[in-house]
Structure 1
């Protein structure tokens, strides 16, 4: 009988101490699903003069030309490979293994934290965890959409408007390097969801150290070559304008989730675009990530303790994972687990030999690439002989 463990979502850790996030690497992803390690070619720069709000910018314009890059059944959108490649490059430079207990993406950790506030119906958690070389690697299982997209639906237009807002407010280079003609063509630029710039950050909660990959929407002011740029990054969001108490409550729940996204990896600034019912951009507001808990505490009784609660649950779930899953330093030993959100608890269960996923994970490259496993073996040999 393999290992099995449950964690109920009411559990909270006594600790609410967080480690200061630090950027240790980055990579770019192209529209052709190519990954470029330590490359910032997909990094965008925020630029949106107030006068542009007078242009009645349509956030649904160009929706039929939208390039959907996440539906390729032959490409795993949740792959850890570029994150592992960035860690390998970092370790080659430092000549030692990165100090971490858990390696994953920010989106995975956000989903796990959201289990304390959402039901499984609205927060699908289908993860695989591998214990290898003293660390836990957590990967989401890809879910391919099977239904046809209705381009005229409010849901799809809302989804698209986020990408359109990014196109309208960012540049591919700093403003001083952008020709005037390119600025004027921004409203006609075709949107896609394939290009990404991803930061790789070392962070932590309590005694647990994490390395997480997180997509970055843009640089707010300027970037510094060869240094930690976390303090310059910003998160872009787009939502319907607030004109009633009910809409204000809805927005507060949204900005709480955005805060969760940003605090995990230390992104200090959030920029919201507000649209009307016709998807015309009406205003743009900037928020400081560290001020959001105060904002919520002042305005919404239901969310008074939500931010501290989220951190304590974050501490509890990472403690549980580290206590439940054995971690051996050996590079020839791997164990795999399923992690799911069911009813009111997280359920961890070991994937044993004979399971249909076992070979692909343990012997294959479903979670960890052969390149990364070979590198860790090489590094372990170097460290033991030095």
Structure 2
């Protein structure tokens, strides 16, 4: 077993290490039945603000929006299913077959996993259990599903005991999805009918359908391929694939009233920022709600400005540069640890000042990196070697 110490944080302080701007290389969609469509934007959504009863908002004068509406018909994704990295790898494989070459990187994983790593220095209750394996020099990382399922059950049980008389954990999760449905259109605003725009509150809420972006990025000396859901685009995606995409991340939070509420919101901003930073989402729109789930107002944050805002106006609960430098060092640790055959467990327990990594038995590396993706990459590498030898023969 090897360990990576989180404390003391001072060694990660100072200016942030080098960062490579996330650039989308491909994407995929899930439909309402969770069917995967590699290279498809069929589930791409477009942002258009909801009608809120607030001065200056398009819905001023309308009845307040109750985010609980439609909870009885909510179609929630079954999170007991272990989806591994399958959709990410299948789409990456389709992209590489289309382009005729592989996308090289040191690490392949989900954005959510990198968010857990990046926020670890300042989130004492952030615990995770990951499985990692190395294939052709690249480390592939996924969540250990059994641990994730146990955490979800524990959170629900704790919510029921702490929130007696108040909204359940399931209801509060629904409020987030409901806010998204109120703020999204399935087509650009110019193509949407008035009925489609104004009747979004009546539309059933569904968390099965998703548009997921796959980006190349890098922190410090580590190059990465990350996949993650994006909520919407503001306007349209640019024609030039090298141009930044005006993505929008949608979040809900209880309206802060006291200083304690302000600190709680500042801590939420850590995860909001990290999630969007990693995929290159430039804007976060927060729907503030009342304790009983009524939408009160909207607030926009520019992702890149959040760390300086927290540093200037906040309570000092976290520091963005420290998070970035910590992530760079942690990625170096993972690359030096996860080598050769087998599967490694990378875990952090609540309030622990360290992260452990150790090799485990009983987990098949092919459950992380699928046989189809392995065969595809082996074929591409064989072609690369043949081409290299051919070029040497010509010289």
TM-score, length of structure 2 as denominator length: 0.86
1:385 aligns with 2:361: no
Structure 1 residues 54 and 252, CA gap change in structure 2 (3 angstroms):
farther
Q: 2:223 aligns with which of 209, 216, 232?
A: 209
What's 2:101 paired with? 96
Q: CA deviation at 1:287?
A: 1.1
Report if the CA contact (8 A) 2:263-2:315 is conserved.
no
Structure 1 residues 85 and 228, CA gap change in structure 2 (3 angstroms):
farther
Paired with 1:155 and 1:369, the residues of 2 have a C-alpha distance of 34
1:204-353 equivalences in 2 (<5 Å): 204-225=218-239, 227-228=241-242, 230-303=244-317, 306-326=319-339, 334-342=341-349, 343-351=352-360
1:76 aligns with 2:82: yes
Structure 1 residues 53 and 76, CA gap change in structure 2 (3 angstroms):
farther
Report if the CA contact (8 A) 2:129-2:144 is conserved.
yes
Report if the CA contact (8 A) 1:47-1:170 is conserved.
yes
Paired with 2:311 and 2:197, the residues of 1 have a C-alpha distance of 40
Q: CA deviation at 1:124?
A: 2.9
1:64 aligns with 2:72: yes
Q: CA deviation at 1:225?
A: 4.9
1:6 aligns with 2:3: yes
Report if the CA contact (8 A) 1:100-1:210 is conserved.
yes
1:14-53 equivalences in 2 (<5 Å): 16-48=17-49, 50-53=57-60
Task: Return 212-221 or 30-39, whichever deviates more.
Answer: 30-39
CA RMSD of aligned residues (A): 2.2
Q: CA deviation at 1:29?
A: 1.1
Q: 1:165 aligns with which of 155, 165, 179?
A: 179
Q: CA deviation at 1:115?
A: 2.1
Paired with 1:312 and 1:322, the residues of 2 have a C-alpha distance of 16
Report if the CA contact (8 A) 1:23-1:229 is conserved.
no
Structure 1 residues 154 and 204, CA gap change in structure 2 (3 angstroms):
same
Paired with 1:234 and 1:53, the residues of 2 have a C-alpha distance of 23
Report if the CA contact (8 A) 1:127-1:340 is conserved.
yes
Paired with 2:359 and 2:243, the residues of 1 have a C-alpha distance of 38
Paired with 1:54 and 1:373, the residues of 2 have a C-alpha distance of 58
Task: After superposition, give the CA deviation of every residue in 1:263-296 in whole Å (9 maximum; x if it has no partner).
Answer: 1121100001111223111111111111111210
Task: Return 250-259 or 48-57, whichever deviates more.
Answer: 48-57
Report if the CA contact (8 A) 2:253-2:289 is conserved.
yes
Q: CA deviation at 1:25?
A: 0.7
**Number of aligned positions between the proteins:** 363
Paired with 2:220 and 2:294, the residues of 1 have a C-alpha distance of 44
TM-score, length of structure 1 as denominator length: 0.88
Report if the CA contact (8 A) 1:240-1:274 is conserved.
yes
Structure 1 residues 230 and 84, CA gap change in structure 2 (3 angstroms):
farther
Paired with 2:190 and 2:37, the residues of 1 have a C-alpha distance of 25
SS in 1 for 2:65: coil
Report if the CA contact (8 A) 2:133-2:338 is conserved.
no
What's 1:330 paired with? none
Paired with 1:228 and 1:34, the residues of 2 have a C-alpha distance of 29
Paired with 2:246 and 2:29, the residues of 1 have a C-alpha distance of 17
Task: Return 191-200 or 93-102, whichever deviates more.
Answer: 93-102
What's 2:390 paired with? none
Paired with 2:184 and 2:115, the residues of 1 have a C-alpha distance of 25
SS in 1 for 2:101: coil
The answer for unaligned runs of 5 or more in structure 2 is 52-56, 388-395
